[in-house]
Amino acid sequence: MGRRCLCVIVAVASGWLAVPARAAENAWLEAGRAAVREARAQQPLPGAARNVILFLGDGMNIATVTAARILEGQQRGESGEENVLAWESFPYTAFSKTYSVDAQTPESAGTMTAIVTGAKTTSSVLSVDETVRADDFAASRKHGLVTILEQAEQHGLATGVVTTATVTHATPGATYAHTPNRDWEDDSHLPGAARAAGFPDIARQLIEFPYGDGIEVVLGGGRKGFLPASAVDPEYPAQKGARRDGRDLTREWTQRRPRSAWVWNRAQLDALDLTATDHLLGLFETSYMQFETDRSRDSGGEPSLSQMTATALDLLARAPKGFFLMVEGGRIDHGHHAGNAYRALTEAIELSNAVRVALAKTDPKTTLIVVTADHGHVFTFGGYAKRGNPILGKVVRSDGGGELARDATGLPYTSVGYLNGPGYTGASAEQAEGPKHFPHRPAGQRPATKGRPDLGPVDTSAPSYLPEAIVPLPSETHSGEDVPVYATGPGADLFRGVREQNYLYHAMVEAFGWNAAPPKPAR
């Protein structure tokens, strides 16, 4: 199909009017012609964006998008390859170069800082410039970078942050916090000098946010960082809060502004009267939220990413001047770090569900939607599998008569795999199992002492199976390749070509139509 479509595109570009006589008999040729006509008809939307929604798939590289596309289709009983995730129908695409000032292979703090401030910086700092060294809280006070969320509040827009990680994690934290260490999520992580100087941890910066009338909606995990160490967690009676300063930041959220609410489970979220709520804080787990695969088993009950997105949009839709919303599929990254492809891909599918919610709840003529990733992972797939081969299954070659493909030693292998991580089958049992909260090893697979294991009897599509990794590491790593960007709505035509990651901020600001003058310094 690829070669034939290319021929059609070249023919149109050359101005040829004739098509092969039998083109109408070939569905691929007809589809190619239709796609070209659609591309020619595409025109940028006029005017500025009233709303901007930034969807961030943490760690969502091209291989993750493609494999999630196939998995979603196969979960519906289809071949999978022809499936389309929500953002794959967007008219404009680009690539983002993810390196940081000090790193060829980046992490989430530096990359998200670039996306929301317009300036690249060093690793592990949030929304401060590249002159700030790690843990230098004094310098970070002087070298903060204003974020697009803060600017939105300054312009009188409503704002929101939604994530399946903690709301103080690197990606959401970069939208509102300025700190020389991404790990300072609550004051229990502050070094003594920073605590003595009164430097605010990330949770405090969220609650004490000084711009406009404050962030309207914050939904995600990380409850323990907002509760004092003396407080019993409402969902897990055996656990307590993490704060050493004795402050209950959930209570402070409701006290700081009128018509404010905080909730900690889905039942409370569903029961909330949004018409009587201007500021909403939802903290649904002590730390990260459950993987979508495991969410139904959560004892307290928690909403999905798409459900949180729907609530956020219902609240923000009332804003008279529009809104800026950041939605993160944070646990795509965590699934990959654990070497757990099933959970990573199902998190990406849920991000697609959230994008579909946004498309249904907003006006495409006034809302710019951007979908991208902060970085990639060393995850890929291949092996010459036949069309419709289960993406998480063992490879059956398209030319193999239905037989499993075999490696040089005669053993079958899976379509997906990792360059490094806990799925290394020559590792010790402890290494191979990875983080303790993943029951990764299904019955029948044992760490190999020499060569690869025989995967013949193993269910490689099981949710907790770890695809093989080449290099043994306790946690799989990020990758350094460019990541995709997808855009639709007013200003979407700015997202084209291969761009530095900080370009995304400037394109979103341009789409809003804001004055190009330098923004006011961050606090």
Pair 322, 369: CB distance under 8 Å? no
pLDDT in tens, 168-227: 999 999 999 999 999 999 999 999 999 999 999 999 999 999 999 999 999 999 999 999
Question: Residue 24 — very low, low, confident or very high, per pLDDT cuts 50/70/90?
Answer: low
Distance of CA 106 to CAs 99, 113, 139, 374, Å?
5, 12, 22, 9
Cα–Cα distance, 164 to 426 (Å, whole number): 33
Cα angle, residue 466 at apex, residues 56 and 433 outer, rounded to 5° = 110
Amino acid at 320: P
pLDDT at 450: 61
Please determine, for residue 5, whether its predicted confidence score (pLDDT) is greater than 60.
no
- Calculate mean pLDDT across residues 140-152: 97
- Structure token digits, residue 274: 């949004």
Contact 250, 192 (CB under 8 A): no
With residue 195 as reference, give the H or E element that holds it. Answer: helix 192-196
pLDDT at 452: 86
CA angle 171, 175, 181 (to 5 degrees): 65
Q: What is the mean pLDDT of residues 407-420?
A: 94
In this predicted model, what pLDDT tens digit does every residue of 280-327 receive, in sequence order? Answer: 999 999 999 999 999 999 989 999 999 999 999 999 999 999 999 999
pLDDT of residue 22: 55
Distance CA 235, CA 261 (A): 18
Rounded to whole angstroms, the Cα distance separating 488 from 402 reads 41
Taking 50 as the threshold, does the pLDDT of residue 52 lie above it? yes
Asked if pLDDT for residue 3 goes beyond 60, the answer is no
Is the separation of the CB atoms in 403 and 397 below 8 Å?
Answer: yes
C-alpha 425/C-alpha 469 separation (Å) is 7
Closest Cα to residue 495, out of 50, 55, 128, 40? 55
pLDDT grade for 2, boundaries at 50, 70 and 90: very low
Considering the entire predicted model, what is its pTM?
A: 0.92
Of the candidates 347, 388, 378, 375, the one whose C-alpha atom is nearest the C-alpha of residue 68 is 347
**For all residues of the chain together, what is the average pLDDT?**
91
pLDDT at 434 over 70: no
Q: Which helix (H) or strand (E) holds 33?
A: helix 27-41
Residue 352: name the closest of 375, 379, 327 by CA: 327
Q: How many Cβ atoms from other residues are within 10 Å of residue 173's Cβ?
A: 30
Cβ contact 239:227 at 8 Å: no
Q: Quick one: three-class SS letters along 397-445?
A: ECCCCCCECECCCCCECECEEEEEECCCCCCCHHHHHCCCCCCCCCCCC
pLDDT at 439 over 80: no
**How far is 403 from 89, CA to CA, in rounded Å?**
35
Match domain 51-378+477-512 to its CATH number in 1.10.260.40, 2.60.120.1060, 3.90.230.10, 3.40.720.10: 3.40.720.10
Domain edges within the chain: 51-378+477-512, 384-476
What count of residues does the chain have? 523
Instruction: Reduce the DSSP state of residue 46 to 3 states and report it.
Output: coil
Each residue of 351-399: pLDDT tens digit? 999 999 999 999 999 999 999 999 999 999 999 999 999 999 999 998 8
**In the prediction, which pLDDT does 12 show?**
45
Q: Which residues are catalytic?
A: 108
Pairing of strands 92-97, 483-488: antiparallel
The dihedral of CA 116, 117, 123, 124: what is its sign? negative
